[in-house]
């Protein structure tokens, strides 16, 4: 997958799509193809941090990720285990207030759906109060929150605190996701689990509803 990673990091949009199609047609695991996109994103993030890439590169990488997802999605449909019509749980998903990153969130929404969850995706920059209100209406089993910015940690903690204050904490499992998260941050937020990878998140949620 290194060629795909390199092409994406170098912003070669056409080559990225070409290689994606080629790998999938050759029978490569679509989840692995996704992971290559994620590795490229990590490198792009590092270059942004290091001052060699700027916002246009971030936007371009977001677009490549979106068009790549469209190509990968039909392959995931057939290959993901557990895909089917019978729903195994209700999963509410949002990017927390203050954060507009949604590439990872959208992948999670797609994969949770393919794995049998009924998914309600509230979009980006969603306040805690809206998440709680919608979780009640929807009858969510699990609240999934995405946050890529360090600045998202406090609003995520705010959500869990509000659930506690409302006496609702035990009604929902809370899972947070995003590349910047770790166990320490998860403990600070008070979530039940954190992941930096969609597949790990799906496995955790399946365990909860089993
Ligand atoms: C693309 C990108 C953007 C795009 C986003 C486009 C979009 N539609 O999402 C744009 C250009 C808009 C953008 C904007 C900004 N960005 Co930005 N961005 C990135 C970048 C390069 C990639 C993020 C990404 O999509 N990764 C790929 C996806 C697939 O990975 P992921 O999000 O981690 O998701 C996976 C898992 O984490 C997990 N997951 C994610 N969410 C959830 C939720 C649940 C419930 C579960 C189960 C799992 C799960 O599953 C996914 C699939 O495996 C990162 C660098 C990085 N390495 O993360 C910086 C990065 C996140 N951005 C950063 C910054 C600073 C910004 C800006 C503030 C820049 C600015 N000065 O304006 C703004 C933020 C605006 C805002 N208020 O949100 C910083 C954050 C630093 C920090 N510590 O806070 C990063 C880390 C770059 C860096 N190294 O400095 N960004």
Which atom belonging to ligand 1 lies closest to the Cα atom of 112? 47
- H or E element that contains 207: helix 198-209
Average pLDDT, the chain: 92
Instruction: Please report which confidence band the pLDDT of residue 148 belongs to, taking 50, 70 and 90 as the band edges.
Output: very high
Instruction: Please report which confidence band the pLDDT of residue 85 belongs to, taking 50, 70 and 90 as the band edges.
Output: low
Q: How many residues does the chain have?
A: 210
Which atom belonging to ligand 1 lies closest to the Cα atom of 149? 84
Task: Indicate if ligand 1 lies below 6 Å from the C-beta of 107.
Answer: yes
Please give the structure tokens belonging to residue 64. Answer: 């490549």
Q: Are 71 and 13 in contact (CB under 8 A)?
A: no
Domains and CATH numbers, the chain: 2-79 (1.10.1240.10), 89-209 (3.40.50.280)
The model's pTM? 0.87
């Amino acid at each position: 997958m290194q060629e795909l990673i390199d092409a994406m990091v170098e912003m070669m949009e056409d080559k990225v799509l070409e290689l994606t199609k080629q790998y999938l047609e050759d029978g490569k695991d679509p989840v692995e193809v996704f992971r290559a996109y994620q590795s490229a994103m990590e490198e792009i993030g590092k270059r942004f941090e290091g001052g060699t890439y700027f916002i246009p590169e971030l936007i371009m990488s977001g677009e490549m990720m979106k068009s790549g997802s469209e190509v990968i999605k039909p392959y995931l449909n057939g290959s993901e285990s557990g895909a089917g019509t019978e729903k195994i749980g209700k999963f509410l998903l949002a990017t927390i207030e203050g954060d507009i990153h949604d590439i990872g969130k959208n992948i999670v929404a797609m994969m949770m759906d393919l794995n049998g969850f009924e998914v309600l995706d509230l979009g980006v920059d969603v306040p805690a109060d809206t998440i709680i209100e919608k979780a009640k209406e929807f009858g969510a089993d699990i609240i999934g929150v995405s946050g890529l910015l360090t600045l998202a940690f406090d609003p995520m903690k705010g959500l869990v605190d509000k659930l506690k204050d409302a006496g609702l904490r035990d009604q929902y499992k809370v899972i947070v996701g995003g590349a910047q998260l770790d166990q320490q941050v998860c403990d600070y937020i008070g979530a039940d689990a954190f992941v930096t990878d969609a597949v790990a998140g799906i496995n955790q949620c399946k365990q909860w509803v089993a």
